[in-house]
Amino acid sequence: MEVNVNPCAEGSRSRKPKRSPEKWKCNIDKAKRHSAKTLPDPPKCNHKDGALQCKTLKMHEILKFHENFYRSKCKTDQDKFLLKYRNP
């Protein structure tokens, strides 16, 4: 009994496609949910003393924090970022 085997041509798909979870609809929706919608507004309160010193924040500091927070679209990474800057 003789079996003839023909080799596959170079570049042809002989296997099923690889998984790509970044293209799945549920993961795309999740990334959109945890991404920035708009730029932040400056705080509009009158706290100058005590623990809340909103008036001393400059807009470039707020933008830098916003940029660093939304750098990752993963919720767990964003939570870790918030815990890193939380006051004890």
| Nearest-angstrom CA–CA distance, 1 and 61 | 77
Domain boundaries, the chain: 58-88
What is the residue-wise DSSP string for 39-88?
PPPPP-----SSS--GGG--HHHHHHHHHHHTT---HHHHHHHHHHT---
pLDDT in tens, 19-49: 899 899 999 998 888 888 888 888 788 766 7
pLDDT of amino acid 46: 75
User: pTM for this structure?
Assistant: 0.60
Q: Confidence class of residue 53 from pLDDT cuts 50, 70 and 90?
A: confident
pLDDT of amino acid 88: 61
| Nearest-angstrom CA–CA distance, 22 and 73 | 12
pLDDT in tens, 1-10: 678 877 766 6
| Nearest-angstrom CA–CA distance, 39 and 44 | 15
